[in-house]
Chains A and B, each alone.
Chain A
Amino acid sequence: MGKSSKDKRDLYYRKAKEQGYRARSAFKLLQLNDEFHFLDDPSLKRVVDLCAAPGSWSQVLSRKLFQDERATADRKIVAVDLQTMSPIDHVTTLQADITHPRTLARILELFGDQKADFVCSDGAPDVTGLHDLDEYVQQQLIMSALQLAACILKPGGTFVAKIFRGRDIDMLYSQMGYLFDRVTCAKPRSSRGTSLEAFIVCQQYNPPSGWQPRLDLDQSVQEFFQGCFRGSDSPDVGPWHETPRDIAPFMACGSLDSFDSDATY
Chain B
Amino acid sequence: MEYLAHYGPSLCVKFHGDLVYAANGPFLHCYNYHTGELKRRCRIFHRNKIHGICIGKDGGLLLYGGNSVLIADLQDVNERTCLMEREKSVNGWIISGEFSYSGDQVYLLTSYNKVIICDKFGRFMMNKSLREEKSILYSGSITVYSQDKVYINAGTVMGGILLWDLYAEKMVHNLKGHEGSIFFVTESADGRYVASCSDDRSIRLWDLRTGELLSVGWGHTARIWNLKFFDSGNRIVSVSEDCTCRVWEICQRGNNIDLIQQNIYEVHLTKNVWGVDVDSTGRKVVTTGNDGRIKITNLGDQLGTEEEQKCYTVEEIFDRTNVPLEKGEIIKGFEWFDFGLVAITSTGKIFLLSSTKDSWIYLTKNDKFSSYSITHGVPDENVIVFANNRGDLLLLKFSDDGERIVAKTEYHCSNLSKTTNCLIRKDSSSALLVLLESPNPRDHLVCLKFSLSTLTHLDTYHFTKPANFVSTCIDVHQNFLLIGSRFSTLAVYDLTATASMPYVIRNLNPGDTTTSIKHVEDQGSSSLFSVTNRDGYYNIIKVNLTQDASHRIIHSNKIVRGFLEGADFDDRGDFITFGFKSSLFYVYNETACYEVFSHICGGAHRQWKLSQDSKSYTLVYIKASDIYIKRFKKAATRETLFAGIHGREIRDITVQKHRKFNDGFLFCTASEDTTMKLMHIEPKSGRLTNYWTQRKHVSGLQRCQFINETLMISCSAREELFLWEIDAQAECSRPYMTLRQTLPTSSGNPDLRIMDFDVKFDSKGENFIMATVYSDSAIKLWLYNHKENSFSLILSGHYKTCCLLNVLLEVLRDQLYLITSPTDGHLVYYNISNQIPFKIDVDDNSLTFGDLKLCESELPEFDCKLQVHQSGIKTIDSVMKTNGDLVIFTGGDDNALGITVASVNKSTAKICARVADFQEKAAASTITSCNLICNATKLLTTSVDQTLRLWSVTEEKLVLIDSSYTTIADTGSSDCVSIDESTNLALVGGVGLSVVQLS
Residues of A within 8 A of B (CB): 1, 6, 9, 82, 97, 99-100, 126, 128-133, 136-137, 140, 165-167, 169-170, 173, 185, 187, 189, 193, 196, 217-223, 234-241, 245, 247, 249-252, 256, 259-260, 262-265
Q: List 13 A-B contacts (CB under 8 A).
A: A128-B138, A128-B223, A167-B945, A193-B871, A193-B872, A223-B112, A234-B91, A236-B118, A237-B91, A249-B920, A260-B803, A260-B823, A263-B802
Whether A166 contacts B969 by the Cβ 8 Å rule is yes
A140 to B127, CA, bound (A): 21
Whether A237 contacts B90 by the Cβ 8 Å rule is yes
Q: Is B237 an interface residue (CB 8 A)?
A: no
Whether B925 contacts A165 by the Cβ 8 Å rule is yes
Q: C-beta contact mask, B737-756 vs A, less than 8 Å → 1, else 0?
A: 00000000000011111000
Q: Is B68 an interface residue (CB 8 A)?
A: yes
A166 to B132, CA, bound (A): 32
Whether A167 contacts B46 by the Cβ 8 Å rule is no
Whether B775 contacts A262 by the Cβ 8 Å rule is yes
Whether A236 contacts B945 by the Cβ 8 Å rule is no
Whether A250 contacts B896 by the Cβ 8 Å rule is yes
Q: Is B824 an interface residue (CB 8 A)?
A: yes
Whether B136 contacts A256 by the Cβ 8 Å rule is no
A199 to B88, CA, bound (A): 32
Given A97-B158, A128-B223, A193-B872, 5 more A-B residue pairs with CB atoms under 8 Å apart are: A99-B136, A166-B944, A234-B91, A237-B90, A247-B895
A interface majority secondary structure: loop
A133 to B926, CA, bound (A): 20
Q: Is B274 an interface residue (CB 8 A)?
A: yes
A238 to B123, CA, bound (A): 8
The 4 nearest A-B residue pairs measured at CB: A131-B969, A165-B925, A220-B112, A260-B802
B88 interface neighbour in A9, A196, A240, Cβ under 8 Å: A240
Which residues of B are found within 8 Å of A131, using beta-carbon distances? 969-970, 991
Which residues of A are found within 8 Å of B122, using beta-carbon distances? 237
Whether B88 contacts A260 by the Cβ 8 Å rule is no
A223 to B111, CA, bound (A): 12
A97 to B920, CA, bound (A): 38
Q: C-beta contact mask, B253-288 vs A, less than 8 Å → 1, else 0?
A: 000000000000000000110100000000000000
Whether B825 contacts A252 by the Cβ 8 Å rule is yes
A136 interface neighbour in B93, B870, B944, Cβ under 8 Å: B93
Q: Is B238 an interface residue (CB 8 A)?
A: no
Whether B47 contacts A265 by the Cβ 8 Å rule is no
Q: Nearest Cβ in chain A — how far from B290, in angstroms?
A: 7
Q: Is B49 an interface residue (CB 8 A)?
A: yes
- A6 to chain B: closest residue by CB: B751
Q: Is B135 an interface residue (CB 8 A)?
A: yes
Given the known inter-chain contacts A6-B751, A166-B969, A169-B924, please indicate yes or no for A240 contacting B871, CB distance below 8 A. Answer: no
A167 interface neighbour in B47, B118, B870, B893, Cβ under 8 Å: B47
- B49 to chain A: closest residue by CB: A132
Q: Nearest Cβ in chain B — how far from A64, in angstroms?
A: 25
Number of interface residues, chain B, beta carbon within 8 A: 85
A259 to B803, CA, bound (A): 10
- B775 to chain A: closest residue by CB: A264
Q: Is B758 an interface residue (CB 8 A)?
A: no
Q: Which residues of chain B in 65-109 are interfacial with respect to chain A, using CB atoms and an 8 Å cutoff?
A: 65-66, 68-69, 84, 87-93, 108
Q: Is B619 an interface residue (CB 8 A)?
A: no
Q: Nearest Cβ in chain A — how far from B609, in angstroms?
A: 41
Q: Nearest Cβ in chain B — how far from A184, in angstroms?
A: 12
Whether B88 contacts A238 by the Cβ 8 Å rule is yes
Whether B801 contacts A263 by the Cβ 8 Å rule is yes
Q: Which residues of chain B in 780-828 are interfacial with respect to chain A, using CB atoms and an 8 Å cutoff?
A: 801-803, 823-825
Whether A170 contacts B945 by the Cβ 8 Å rule is yes
Interface centre among B9, B87, B112, B180 (most CB of A within 10 A): B112
Q: Which residues of chain B in 108-122 are interfacial with respect to chain A, using CB atoms and an 8 Å cutoff?
A: 108, 111-112, 114, 116, 118, 122
A245 to B921, CA, bound (A): 13
Whether B92 contacts A222 by the Cβ 8 Å rule is yes
Which residues of A are found within 8 Å of B803, using beta-carbon distances? 193, 260, 262-264
Whether A262 contacts B290 by the Cβ 8 Å rule is no
Q: Nearest Cβ in chain B — how far from A128, in angstroms?
A: 8
Whether A236 contacts B90 by the Cβ 8 Å rule is yes
A234 to B84, CA, bound (A): 20
Interface centre among A82, A97, A222, A234 (most CB of B within 10 A): A222
Q: Is B774 an interface residue (CB 8 A)?
A: yes
Which residues of B are found within 8 Å of A260, using beta-carbon distances? 801-803, 823-824
Q: Nearest Cβ in chain A — how far from B134, in angstroms?
A: 4
Whether A234 contacts B89 by the Cβ 8 Å rule is yes
- A262 to chain B: closest residue by CB: B803
Q: Is B994 an interface residue (CB 8 A)?
A: no
Given the known inter-chain contacts A131-B970, A260-B802, please indicate yes or no for A222 contacting B823, CB distance below 8 A. Answer: no
A166 interface neighbour in B223, B752, B870, B946, Cβ under 8 Å: B946
Whether B823 contacts A264 by the Cβ 8 Å rule is no
Q: Which residues of chain B in 494-525 are interfacial with respect to chain A, using CB atoms and an 8 Å cutoff?
A: none
Q: Nearest Cβ in chain A — how far from B402, in angstroms?
A: 54
Whether A236 contacts B752 by the Cβ 8 Å rule is no
Q: Nearest Cβ in chain A — how far from B821, in angstroms?
A: 12
Which residues of A are found within 8 Å of B723, using beta-carbon distances? none
Q: Which residues of chain B in 847-890 are interfacial with respect to chain A, using CB atoms and an 8 Å cutoff?
A: 870-872, 874
A263 to B824, CA, bound (A): 11
Q: Nearest Cβ in chain A — how far from B6, in angstroms?
A: 15
Q: Nearest Cβ in chain B — how far from A105, in angstroms?
A: 13
Whether A132 contacts B48 by the Cβ 8 Å rule is yes
A181 to B91, CA, bound (A): 26
Whether B87 contacts A240 by the Cβ 8 Å rule is yes
